[in-house]
Amino acid sequence: MEKVVSGIRPTGNLHLGNYFGAVRSFVAMQDKYQCMFFIADWHSLTTHPKPEDIQQSARTILAEYLACGLDPKKAPIYVQSDVRETIELYLYLNMNMYLGELERVTTFKEKARQQPDNVNAGLLTYPTLMAADILQHRANWVPVGKDQEQNMEMARKCARRFNNIYGVEFFPEPQNFYFSDQAVKIPGLDGSGKMGKSEGNCIYLRDDDKTITKKVMRAVTDNGPQEPNSQRPDVIENLFTFLRIVSTPDTYQYFDEKWNDCTLRYGDLKKQIAADLVAVVAPIREKIEYYSANTELLDQIAREGAEVARESARATLNEVRRIIGFRV
Ligand code: TYM
């Protein structure tokens, strides 16, 4: 079976944009590929987080992904810093990467602009660490959002260069795996294009029913349909996007007809969306609460995931050491 590796930055709580975008696709992937997921806590060191936050944010994100349906029996989930083998590969790969090309990576340039007082070497070699994450499992596929494409290009470069330098065909070049056919882009309900943390318009999987309802009822609308069968403005289309995702086709059709004959009342539409959204989120939230209250279980899942990952990384490293000329 082909191998998929994906790393997740432990940044805050999952919102609907994450869920209907990447997370649900991850869940679908576990049945078709040999997947490994990990929480990229080393990568987060570039901003020097507090020690007490490190473990907490890993547990938070682990609880949320498990609640969404990631199944450690199908796909191991581990915490990056538990698999120290990665660092050795990172060192070898760094020897083949050049300052100029690392400096040209857009995410590096952006970060350097955002945190001019903290342009550390970890930030510069972020793509090499990411390459080590992937290549240590000799993965074939990596799910990518647009922002990760250049990092993936660097990972392929690492693989190619290693193979060329040592005259081997050892590392497969990991390919980008796009979810675009299954992932849904969730709009913001405040009139902005997308739901996102930096936009401050998120509905979180941890939100309780009342909070979700309040956020939906506050959604930006207009004066209502003016002419039969007219095109919907973006803010209204956003509501219909939600309806399409969380409600039944019949319900969608009902409100679509109401729009078309100009009898739609936005209050009714929002109430429907809120109720159907609550029905989707509430069971996930309950599972998040269950996992969050069971830190021992979380730690055990992460420990078991790390064991599998370590074994996979060690097998790769042994080969790499042999190829480079080190004792195994
Ligand atoms: P992050 O935390 O932004 O996203 C987590 C993972 O989800 C993928 N992804 C998507 N893939 C397909 N379609 C989408 N719409 C979509 N949205 C998000 C991301 O590409 C990522 O794989 N730098 C990485 C973390 C990382 C990593 C790695 C990822 C570190 N090492 C090794 C993959 C492999 C990041 O910021 O991902």
Confidence of residue 202 (pLDDT cuts 50, 70, 90): very high
CA 279 / ligand 1 centre spacing (Å): 28
Where do the CATH 1.10.240.10 domains begin and end in the chain? Answer: 209-288
Interatomic CA distance for residues 222 and 266, integer angstroms: 9
Residue among 19, 90, 144 whose CB has most ligand 1 atoms within 8 A, to mutate: 144
Give yes or no: 270 in active site.
no
What is the reported pLDDT for 181?
A: 66
The model's pLDDT over 102-118, given as tens digits with 9 standing for 90+, comes to 999 999 999 999 999 99
- Residue 5 CA to ligand 1 centre (angstroms): 10
Q: Which two tokens stand for residue 1?
A: 């079976």
User: What pLDDT is recorded for position 219?
Assistant: 95
- pLDDT computed for residue 34 by the predictor: 97
Range(s) within the chain of domains with CATH label 3.40.50.620:
3-184+294-324
Asked whether residue 58 carries a pLDDT value surpassing 70, the answer given is yes
Identify the CATH homologous superfamily for domain 3-184+294-324: HUPs (3.40.50.620)
CB 107 within 8 A of CB 114: no
Q: What is the DSSP string of 273-295?
A: HHHHHHHHHHHHHHHHHHHHH-H
- Count Cβ atoms below 10 Å from residue 153 Cβ, excluding itself: 14
The answer to which of 78-87, 173-182, 252-261, 298-307 has the lowest mean pLDDT is 173-182
pLDDT at residue 314 in the model: 98
Q: Look up 214 and say whether it is catalytic.
A: no
Identity of the amino acid at 124? L
Average pLDDT over residues 39-52: 94
User: Would you identify the CATH topology of the domain 209-288?
Assistant: Tyrosyl-Transfer RNA Synthetase (1.10.240)
* Proportion of the chain above pLDDT 70, given as a percent: 99
User: Among 3, 73, 74, 111, which one carries the catalytic annotation?
Assistant: 111
Would you call 197 a catalytic residue per the annotation?
Answer: yes
Q: Write the residue with the smallest CA distance to atom 8 of ligand 1.
A: 144
- pLDDT over 90 for what percent of the chain? 92
Give the global pTM: 0.93
pLDDT exceeds 80 at position 183 = no
Residue 158 Cβ contacting ligand 1 at under 6 Å:
no
- In short, whether 128's Cβ falls inside 6 Å of ligand 1 is no
Is residue 21 lining ligand 1, measured as CB closer than 6 Å?
Answer: yes
